[in-house]
Structure 1
Amino acid sequence: MSRGIYITANDKVTDHAIALINSIRIHDPETPIVLIPYDDNYHNVAEILKQRHGVEVYQDLEFIDRLSKRLHEAFGSDFFARPNQFRKQACWFGEFDEFLYIDTDIVVFEKIIDNLNYFSEYDFLCCDYQHLGGIKNVFTSKVLEENVFTESDLKDMFNGGFWASKKGLVSEQEIYETFAECAAHPEYFDFSQKTSDQPIINYMILKRIAHRFNIVRRPKGAPGNWGGTSHFIPTANHQLIDPSVDQPLQYLHWAGIRIQPGCPYWDIWEHYRYFHEDKPLVEAMPAPKKPGFFQQIVSKIKR
């Protein structure tokens, strides 16, 4: 039984991918990791990740192109803001019997692959509190009004940036059929915040996979993981504690947040991005210019 991790990336998110893989390898030097190219501009990031951490590129690139094209066409060429997000659906048909998918705007704080041990009882895993925020960014009220899903079903909604399942559990034809169903009922989905794959994959999982488990429902609870949560407490080893459950975070996800200086938990991300190299020097801010004679006169008049 083979296990592994999939990510999607291109050269534009090289820094994010490096931070993610560095964090994975700190806790787990062995689990194989496969890169699903987000588009054709992936060769630089692929080379860096392969040299540093043995990350391989998904073997059947022709299949990825065919799959993503079919899924994109189901809704029409101009429907989705980021149609290439559907390339992650190639996870179902790759080399791993059991797999974990992780977005590159994440860093992990543990041997994250061990969460797949829940597969002794379940077929699909997620690990977030997406469901507590209501159905926005996934569904509209139509799914309840027309009995597409029950309130109980919707408690299993999840964020599409971190999930796990088993190879072949969903067939290629079933994915095409699911997308056709969704395209026939766009009123079921909330794309207002320019999400692309999250509403559709939620629909597919809730419809087709019964044995689901959200890891935050484990006994004694589980920590949060969203980068927009302000109450996490940093530790000395560049990790975080969620004081609401008094547990260390399993991972941190900057979903919907631009990762840049000044963003939440920037120091955490920066630590993992530059774990194996020197941080770039930050240029000093230029000293403010002394106001000229005319500007001094204007200031005196205003005062």
Structure 2
Amino acid sequence: MINGIYTLANDVVYDQLVALLNSIEVNAGREIPVCVIPYDERLDKVRAEIACRKNVTLFENSNSIAYWDDFATQVWKNYPRAQTNWRKRGLSELYRLPMHRKLCGLDGSFDKFIYFDADTLLMSPIDYIYEKLDSFDWVVHDFQYKSDLKYIFDAPLEFLHQTFAEENLQNKVFCAGWFATKKHVFSQEILANLLEKLKAGEAEVMALGGPDQSLFNYMVLQSGISYYNFAYHDLEKATGSHWSSKFDVVNNVLYDQERRLTYLHYMSIGASAFTQLCLGEDMNIPYRDVFLHYRYFKSPEQRPKSFRHPSLLMNLQKNSTNFFNKKVGNIKLKYRNFKDKLAQ
């Protein structure tokens, strides 16, 4: 039985990838093999980094990559609303298609695995996640269920009820940036059945902002595999994970009300902000020193000693990040109030 970690990366997210790999090495509590799934062919820096790490490999099963690219293509090409929406916004007709390659882990060498987006940092040992996979097929640890359901499924409620047998749909949704599951958790029969239903019209339930997230949620719910969310079912171990939350920092590890985070997720902050930070621009990234600690853990002499004012483009990005921070404030408040009520 081999347990491992997958992530999805290319040279665009190189600085984040290095920080993630170092955080795994520092905080996992033991050596865990990591496999990097290629987002695309921009991999020169990624390959060089992997060559320096004995426990990190590159996913090179081209048949698996082609399979999941084709699976996602069939789903979204047969979803007229998605095609119309993305075309009007000037986006690709297969918007963020490579994000679906996260599912390549289902065909890899790890019997149990945890998937990390490249814009995450591991904060604590994760053996308890692998252990939970002895009882459940799909395990997550996030508070996506406290957010608006429309970010996952944005169809009318009547259609959602017709599509899903699950009564408490809101409580079963999750963020696709971090999850744990098992090799071949979906049989070929299940996958064929899901694809048939999606192409027949059930794709209409899915939101369009994060295609992979909507599709993964659909697949888990509609397949009937067992599902567990620590942030919903086990509040003793539940912590936040989003960068917008207020965490305490102790020796470059984050704590949520004295509970050590499992991971920190920098979702919605563009990779260019981290690139510019590592080039010495004064980027307003939350928990910046923590990120820099892990990014330069193996090469502290390369860490920027001072920072210059960012370019106009980066200022615009910073303003966008601040705007998003205000938007998620309501979600964060709900999360805090939810935990406080349970503590009473």
Shorter-chain TM-score range = 0.7 to 0.9
- Could you say which residue in structure 1 is the equivalent of 2:17? 17
- Could you say which residue in structure 1 is the equivalent of 2:207? 190
Could you tell me how far 1:136 is from its partner in structure 2? 2.5
Q: Does 1:157 align with 2:179?
A: no
Q: Show CA shifts across 1:188-212 (max 9, x none).
A: 1221xx3120000000001114421
**Matches for 1:51-200 after TM superposition, within 5 Å:** 51-76=52-77, 78-142=92-156, 144-147=158-161, 148-149=163-164, 150-172=166-188, 174-183=190-199, 184-191=201-208, 194-200=209-215
- Could you say which residue in structure 2 is the equivalent of 1:297? none
Could you tell me how far 1:19 is from its partner in structure 2? 0.5
Could you tell me how far 1:12 is from its partner in structure 2? 1.0
Could you tell me how far 1:285 is from its partner in structure 2? 5.6
**Matches for 1:199-214 after TM superposition, within 5 Å:** 199-214=214-229
CA contact (8 A) 2:112 2:182 kept: yes
Select between 134-143 and 11-20 the one with higher mean Cα deviation.
134-143
Structure 1 residues 6 and 285, CA, compared in 2 at 3 Å: closer, same or farther?
A: closer
Q: Does 1:241 align with 2:242?
A: no
Could you tell me how far 1:93 is from its partner in structure 2? 1.1
Structure 1 residues 173 and 266, CA, compared in 2 at 3 Å: closer, same or farther?
A: farther
CA contact (8 A) 1:123 1:209 kept: no
Partner AA of 2:252 in structure 1: H
CA contact (8 A) 1:5 1:33 kept: yes
Matched-pair identity in %: 28
Select between 86-95 and 206-215 the one with higher mean Cα deviation.
206-215
Q: Does 1:220 align with 2:236?
A: yes
CA contact (8 A) 1:100 1:113 kept: no
Q: Does 1:269 align with 2:291?
A: yes
Which TM-score applies when normalising by structure 1? 0.84
Partner AA of 1:274 in structure 2: Y
Distance (Å, rounded) in 1 between the aligned partners of 2:196 and 2:44: 33
Distance (Å, rounded) in 1 between the aligned partners of 2:67 and 2:134: 33
Select between 177-186 and 14-23 the one with higher mean Cα deviation.
177-186
Could you tell me how far 1:173 is from its partner in structure 2? 5.3
CA contact (8 A) 1:143 1:188 kept: no
Two-structure CA RMSD over aligned residues (Å)? 2.3
Could you tell me how far 1:276 is from its partner in structure 2? 1.0
Partner AA of 1:181 in structure 2: K
Give the ranges of 4+ consecutive aligned residues of structure 1 lying more than 6 Å apart after TM superposition.
none
Could you tell me how far 1:72 is from its partner in structure 2? 1.6
Unpaired runs of 5+ in structure 1?
287-303
Select between 32-41 and 43-52 the one with higher mean Cα deviation.
43-52
CA contact (8 A) 1:27 1:111 kept: yes
Q: Show CA shifts across 1:58-117 (max 9, x none).
A: 241233123313422432284332110011111111111111111000001112244111
Partner AA of 2:285 in structure 1: C
Distance (Å, rounded) in 2 between the aligned partners of 1:209 and 1:266: 40
Q: Show CA shifts across 1:218-266 (max 9, x none).
A: 152511110122x21222x1111212xx312111001112354202222
Structure 1 residues 66 and 207, CA, compared in 2 at 3 Å: closer, same or farther?
A: closer
- Could you say which residue in structure 2 is the equivalent of 1:292? none
CA contact (8 A) 1:74 1:180 kept: no
Distance (Å, rounded) in 2 between the aligned partners of 1:16 and 1:125: 24
Distance (Å, rounded) in 1 between the aligned partners of 2:133 and 2:309: 52
